[in-house]
């Protein structure tokens, strides 16, 4: 019999009832060190007092009015994002996949209104992930996500990752945009080299193509910059943000330049909940912490410390681990053993990690994880690895 919850997830037999900082308490009382942060969502850990206060204060005054009226917290969040980034304008939604929907619509509408309605095609990369909506799965294109769900949204071309010649050849006078994650998340924590991002930006500029960056996972301080593309010095035309910006409250947004957003006039897009006061109040509080030079420098320092300690564990268990890669606190350990075995051993050692493609175990801790918890995480990973070779 089908369970009451549609069985689209294979869940671990764990039930968390309380969270605090980087720790989660299981129903049976065990305390797990959370190195997954709800898949890069709980950017300031669980139950951060400032986020709780922002949410509760807003809840006491006003929950929802709709986008028929001005929403002060939405304006505050949009202003903060515009002042901190390349963007001139922001649309608020509720998830990463919704951000993908708008990014695709915005790119196509831009060229439609610019008198080039034939420019509808979008180039994406194999191994990427852009969410589970119809546009999201068509954009990523992997059979795992698309099989059985056809006909797919047309207009996407998929290229192998890192093939500049193929990219050069693929951009035509029908191309409206290129979409990619500066650091592939689900694909196995694969950073796109700065040179590739620069080359891609140049190619987009030369052809008038819009560059869409999906920073749903790698954005909002995760790599030690507010947004991952900042490391390369380039800027996108359109950017998708979600996960970490809400710190656990479901919000997403699309950031864009005035040029890219030119077609998005009144009535062309909308969302009932997007930009809701509760979510935006939390988003403002999250940004107040993360969009800060000292905070971001500390992310890099913590990341360096975690990475160095991880190298030691990896070297100690060559039959379990192969290497570590990633940027900032977005790290992937490529495994020799099946990553699912490693993650299960981690559960036994009471530490939470997240799988990714290419046999990778992801570490995506809270960005403010205390140094002592980093040391504890490495000790627990060591214990998990030990149990696999014993
Ligand atoms: C998680 C993710 C999405 C989808 O976000 P949802 O909030 O789950 O819809 C899109 N792109 C990337 C890179 C992601 O990691």
Kindly tell me the sign of the dihedral angle through the C-alpha atoms of 224, 185, 384, 24: positive
Nearest ligand 1 atom to the CA of 242 is 7
Tell me, in angstroms, the distance from the centre of ligand 1 to residue 301's CA.
Answer: 26
- Per-residue pLDDT band for 162 (boundaries 50, 70, 90) equals confident
Tell me, in angstroms, the distance from the centre of ligand 1 to residue 389's CA.
Answer: 34
Average pLDDT over residues 154-177: 93
Tell me, in angstroms, the distance from the centre of ligand 1 to residue 96's CA.
Answer: 4
Q: What is the overall mean pLDDT for the chain? A: 97
Instruction: Tell whether ligand 1 has an atom less than 6 A from the beta carbon of residue 129.
Output: yes
Average pLDDT over residues 226-247: 98
Fold of the domain built from segment(s) 49-290 = 3.40.640
The pair of structure tokens assigned to 250 is 């479901």
Instruction: Tell whether ligand 1 has an atom less than 6 A from the beta carbon of residue 131.
Output: yes
Atom 15 of ligand 1, nearest CA residue = 217
The pair of structure tokens assigned to 321 is 């681990």
Instruction: Tell whether ligand 1 has an atom less than 6 A from the beta carbon of residue 181.
Output: yes
The answer to whether the CB of 277 falls within 8 A of the CB of 62 is yes
Tell me, in angstroms, the distance from the centre of ligand 1 to residue 141's CA.
Answer: 14
Domain with CATH 3.40.640.10 in the chain: 49-290
Per-residue pLDDT of 285-315, as tens digits, reads 999 999 999 999 999 999 999 999 999 999 9
pLDDT at 390 > cutoff 90: no
Q: Are strands 156-159 and 121-125 parallel, antiparallel or unpaired?
A: parallel
* Angstrom distance (rounded) from CA 297 to CA 338: 34
pLDDT at 184 > cutoff 90: yes
Q: Which residue's entry shows tokens 């919850």?
A: 5
Fold of the domain built from segment(s) 16-34+293-389 = 3.90.1150
* Angstrom distance (rounded) from CA 157 to CA 135: 13
Domain with CATH 3.90.1150.10 in the chain: 16-34+293-389
pLDDT at 319 > cutoff 90: yes
- Per-residue pLDDT band for 161 (boundaries 50, 70, 90) equals confident
pLDDT at 21 > cutoff 90: yes
pLDDT at 149 > cutoff 90: yes
Instruction: Tell whether ligand 1 has an atom less than 6 A from the beta carbon of residue 101.
Output: no
Per-residue pLDDT of 56-68, as tens digits, reads 999 999 999 999 9
Which 3-state string (H, E, C) describes the chain?
CCCCCCCCCCCCCCCEEEEEECEEEECCCCEEEECCHHHHCCCCCECCHHHHHHHHHHHHHCCCCCCCCCCHHHHHHHHHHHHHCCCCEEEEECCHHHHHHHHHHHHHHHHHHCCCCCCCEEEEECCCCCCCCHHHHHHHCCHHHHCCCCCCCCCEEEECCCCHHHHHHHCCCCEEEEEECCEECCCCCEECCHHHHHHHHHHHHHHCCEEEEECCCCCCCCCCCCCHHHHHCCCCCEEEECHHHHECECCEEEEECCCHHHHCCCCCCCCCCCCCHHHHHHHHHHHHHHCCHHHHHHHHHHHHHHHHHHHHHHHHCCCCEEEEEEECCEEEEEECCCHHHHHHHHHHCCEECEEECCCEEEECCCCCCCHHHHHHHHHHHHHHHHHHHC
Instruction: Tell whether ligand 1 has an atom less than 6 A from the beta carbon of residue 242.
Output: yes
Instruction: Tell whether ligand 1 has an atom less than 6 A from the beta carbon of residue 217.
Output: yes
Instruction: Tell whether ligand 1 has an atom less than 6 A from the beta carbon of residue 97.
Output: yes
Write down the pLDDT at residue 47: 98
* Angstrom distance (rounded) from CA 103 to CA 261: 9
Instruction: Tell whether ligand 1 has an atom less than 6 A from the beta carbon of residue 225.
Output: no
Q: 158 has which bridge partners?
A: 124
Instruction: Tell whether ligand 1 has an atom less than 6 A from the beta carbon of residue 359.
Output: no
Tell me, in angstroms, the distance from the centre of ligand 1 to residue 277's CA.
Answer: 22
Average pLDDT over residues 372-387: 98
The pair of structure tokens assigned to 117 is 């309605």
Q: Are strands 210-214 and 238-241 parallel, antiparallel or unpaired?
A: parallel
Write down the pLDDT at residue 327: 98
Atom 6 of ligand 1, nearest CA residue = 96
Atom 11 of ligand 1, nearest CA residue = 130
The pair of structure tokens assigned to 371 is 């140094």
The pair of structure tokens assigned to 251 is 């919000």
Nearest ligand 1 atom to the CA of 250 is 7
- Per-residue pLDDT band for 29 (boundaries 50, 70, 90) equals very high
pLDDT at 164 > cutoff 90: no
The pair of structure tokens assigned to 131 is 């969410």
């Amino acid at each position: 019999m089908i369970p009451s919850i549609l069985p689209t997830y294979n869940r671990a037999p764990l039930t968390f009832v309380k969270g605090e900082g980087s720790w989660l308490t299981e129903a049976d009382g065990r305390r797990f060190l959370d190195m997954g942060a709800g898949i890069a969502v709980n950017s300031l850990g669980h139950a951060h007092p400032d986020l709780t206060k922002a949410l509760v204060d807003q809840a006491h005054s006003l929950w929802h009015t709709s986008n028929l009226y001005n929403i002060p917290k939405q304006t505050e969040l949009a202003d903060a994002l515009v002042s901190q980034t390349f963007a001139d304008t922001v649309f608020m939604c509720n998830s990463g996949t919704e951000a993908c929907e708008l990014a695709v619509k915005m790119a196509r509408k831009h060229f439609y209104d610019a008198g080039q309605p034939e420019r509808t095609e979008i180039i994406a990369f194999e191994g990427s992930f852009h969410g589970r909506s119809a546009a999201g799965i068509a954009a990523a294109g992997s059979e795992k996500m698309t099989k059985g769900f056809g006909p797919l949204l047309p207009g996407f071309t998929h290229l192998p990752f890192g093939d500049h010649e193929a990219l050069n050849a693929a951009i035509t006078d029908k191309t409206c945009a290129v979409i990619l994650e500066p650091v592939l998340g689900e694909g196995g924590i694969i950073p796109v080299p700065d040179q590739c991002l620069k080359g891609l930006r140049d190619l987009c500029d030369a052809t008038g193509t819009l560059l869409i960056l999906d920073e749903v996972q790698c954005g909002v301080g995760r790599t030690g910059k507010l947004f991952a593309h900042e490391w390369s010095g380039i800027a996108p035309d359109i950017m998708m943000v979600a996960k970490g910006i809400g710190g656990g409250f479901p919000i997403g947004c699309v950031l864009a330049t005035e040029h890219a957003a030119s077609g998005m006039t009144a009535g062309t897009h909308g969302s009932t909940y997007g930009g809701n006061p509760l979510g935006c109040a939390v988003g403002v509080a999250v940004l107040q912490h993360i969009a800060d030079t000292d905070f971001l420098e500390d992310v890099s320092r913590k990341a360096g410390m975690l990475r160095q300690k991880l190298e030691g564990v990896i070297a100690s268990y060559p039959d379990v681990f192969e290497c570590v890669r990633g940027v900032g606190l977005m790290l992937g350990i490529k495994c020799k053993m099946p990553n699912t075995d490693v993650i299960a051993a981690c559960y036994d050692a009471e530490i939470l990690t997240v799988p990714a493609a290419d046999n990778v175990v992801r570490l995506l801790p809270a960005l403010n994880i205390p140094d002592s918890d980093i040391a504890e995480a490495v000790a627990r990973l060591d214990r998990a690895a030990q149990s696999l070779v014993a």
